[in-house]
Amino acid sequence: MKSSSFPTPAATADAPSRDARSLAALVGFGFALFVVVALVAIASGQYPLTPAQVARGLWHGVAGGGAPALADEVLWQIRLPRIALASLVGVALGAAGAAFQHLFRNPLVAPDTLGVSSGAALGAVLAIFAGAGAFTTGVTAFAAGIAAVLLVTLLAARIRAHDRTLTLVLIGVVVASLCGAAISLVKFVADPYNQLPAITFWLMGSLAAASWPQVASVAPVIVVGLAVLAALSWRVNLLALPEDEARALGANVARLRATVIGAATLATAASVAVCGIVGWVGLVVPHMARLVAGPDFSRLLPVAALFGAIFMLAIDTLARTVTPIDLPPGVLTAFVGTPLFLVLLARRST
């Protein structure tokens, strides 16, 4: 046996990249990138703003004064709330995706594995069918998303199985498919001239109606979800082990898992409620984050959240600038996400 004398060039080369300083550098770089993307997003759109207009507008908004200008309106009432909302959604999906991938010990799951998106979609579709306004639709979607996950976890708890995470995933699939069938049924009977287009647009997802009240209504929910994940971040690592191992190490796995599912679901449900179903972000972003930050959740969480914001903001900016009409961001995330995911799968170093 020679393990004490193993040559470990990889070890020494790897070590400095994994300490706290490198995390700070990584987060710093990510934040700088985010600011750049945000500045591009502020300036671009159907009414392009010059850097001077952006600077002046930001100054007017913060310090007050200045003559009311169209540029200021565009900046503060259209661009900034949309940027804030896109970033929040990205943060939520990136963080929730990372949490779920740990929880299920599987890098191929997404935040909606337990049915939150399908439940929210069914809630929204029913609300639209009932003639509800945008706000009620959002609230219904949020509540239905959480209800779907509750249903999945309660059903899973009633089934006695050795592999509880697999049971959760399978019941998630079942409930999601049931919601899908119900959505089809509602679409089938909905008024084809008003309701059906509204339903279809909601399902494709959009950030076009972003407003400050919307930001204010989802931000606290997402912040709470993330705060819980951040507080538990080191312990979440134990969920990436087989359940017996985690329990033998002293973790209360049932409680920890329920808490993480709850926190990640809150964040996901809030983001689905304001912008509809945006796939791929919660799947691809945690992958990219793990590539650079490693799997330790206390390092992974901030990086996944930041990357999520950058990814979602970049996608939404593209979605509203490449064509004269707003493309649904969910369509673009799929177009960008699928090839990216294939590349990541091919590398598969995490």
Q: CA torsion, points 186, 188, 192, 194, in degrees to nearest 10?
A: 10
Distance CA 49, CA 40 (A): 10
Nearer residue to another protein within complex by CB, 238 or 313: 238
SS3 for 14-65, per residue? HHHHHCHHHHHHHHHHHHHHHHHHHHHHHHCCCCCCCHHHHHHHHHHHHHCC
Considering only the stretches 10-18, 77-85, 128-136, 144-152, report the one whose residues sit in contact with another protein under the rule CB under 8 A: 10-18
Binds another protein (CB under 8 A): choice among 18, 29, 36, 47: 18
Distance CA 252, CA 233 (A): 15
Could you say which DSSP state residue 67 is in?
-
Considering only the stretches 11-19, 56-64, 136-144, 327-335, report the one whose residues sit in contact with another protein under the rule CB under 8 A: 11-19
Least distance in Å: CB of 92 to another protein?
21
Binds another protein (CB under 8 A): choice among 190, 215, 232, 319: 232
Binding flags for another protein, 277-306, as an x/- string (CB under 8 A): -------------x---xxx-x--------
Q: Which amino acid is at 165?
A: T
Distance CA 51, CA 116 (A): 40
Least distance in Å: CB of 111 to another protein?
18
Binding flags for another protein, 99-138, as an x/- string (CB under 8 A): ---x--xxx-------------------------------
Reported as half-sphere exposure (CB side, CA atoms, 13 A), residue 105 has a value of: 14
Binds another protein (CB under 8 A): choice among 46, 77, 184, 252: 252
114 within 8 A of 261, measured Cβ to Cβ: yes
34 within 8 A of 306, measured Cβ to Cβ: yes
Q: Is 157 in the site for another protein (CB under 8 A)?
A: no
Residue ranges in contact with another protein by CB under 8 A: 1, 3-6, 8, 10-12, 14-15, 18, 102, 105-107, 160, 231-235, 237-238, 240-242, 244-245, 247-252, 256, 290, 294-296, 298, 349-350
